[in-house]
Amino acid sequence: MEALLQITSGRGPAECCWVVARLAEAICADARSKGLAAEIIEQEQGPEKDTLFSALVHLDGDAVQLFMASYLGTIQWIGLSLFRHGHKRKNWFVGVSQVALASYTVPDERDIRVETMKGSGPGGQHVNTTESAVRATHLPTGLSAIARDERSQSANRKRAVARLAILLARAAQREADRARKKRWDAHNELVRGNPVRVYAGPRFLQV
C-alpha cells in the first residue's frame, strides 16, 4: 500500500523548519528499519541551510497505515534555537498529516469497458453500416471517450482509449491541484500542544 505524509512547519520560524527537515529524515529511517520503502519526494526549502518549510514523504509497504498512525498529529521538539543565540523559547512544533494520492494517471486496460456503435459522418450520415465507432469508459470514474473518426474499429478503439487517457490525466491534474492547495492551507492550521511524539536536543532524539 502507498501513502503520502506531509510534514509542515505551519509557516513557523527557522527552528520549526529545522525540525521538519530532521523529522522527514527520521520518518524515512524509521520506515526503512520496519521494511517499508520511504522517500522524500517533494520539499520546500526553508529560510536557513538544512531547513524545510514542508516535506512530502512517500511510503510503500504492507504496514503503512499502522506505521503512519504513530506520526499523525503534532510533533514537539525541545531545544534551544540553533539560529538565534540567547533566544529563550525551547518548545517548537510541527505538524504531520496524510495526503491523498492522485487517484489515476494512465488507464489500466482491465478498468476500461469498450463498446461499439455505428459510425456516422458529418450531419449524421453513416460512414458505413458496421459498428466501427467505439466508446471507451473508465469503470472506476465513469469517464468516457468516443472515437468515430476512422473506418476501422481497431483504429477507433485506439483513439478512444488515447482520448480517455487525456481525460484521466486532466482529472488527476485537477485533483493534484486541489491536494496542493490543501497542503498549503495546512501550513496555517498547525495545532500546538498534545504532541504525538516528542524529540529533544540537537541530535533529535525521541524522548
Clarify whether residues 121 and 36 are in a common domain: no
Residue 32 lies in a domain: yes
Q: Is residue 37 part of a domain?
A: yes
pTM for the whole structure: 0.63
* Residues of the domain holding 191: 2-103+185-206
CB 184, CB 177: distance < 8 Å: no
Check whether residue 21 and residue 82 sit in a common domain: yes
User: Of 41, 16, 15, 18, whose CA–CA distance to 28 is shortest?
Assistant: 41
Q: E strands of the chain, at which residues?
A: 2-8, 37-45, 52-60, 73-78, 91-99, 112-117, 133-138, 144-147, 197-200, 205-206
Strand partners of residue 97: 6
- Same domain for 12 and 62, yes or no, is yes
92 and 35 in a common domain: yes
- Looking at the fold, whether 65 and 143 belong to one and the same domain comes out as no
Examine the domain organization and report whether 97 and 120 are in the same domain: no
Residue 154 and residue 81 share a domain? no
Same-domain status, 71 and 164:
no
52 and 113 housed in the same domain = no
- CATH number of the domain to which 79 belongs: 3.30.70.1660
Q: Which of 101, 79, 40 is nearest to 205 (CA)?
A: 79
Q: What is the pLDDT along the chain (207 residues), one digit of tens a residue?
A: 888 899 999 888 999 999 999 999 999 999 999 998 898 988 899 999 999 999 989 999 889 999 999 999 999 999 999 999 889 899 999 999 998 765 445 578 889 999 998 765 444 444 455 678 999 999 999 998 888 877 889 988 988 888 888 788 778 777 777 877 776 666 556 666 689 999 999 999 999
Residues 146 and 83 in one domain: no
- What Cα–Cα distance (Å) separates residue 197 from each residue in 24, 52, 138, 205? 13, 19, 42, 11
Query: Looking at the structure, do residues 192 and 94 belong to the same domain, yes or no?
Result: yes
Residue 74 within a domain: yes
- Count structural domains, the chain: 2
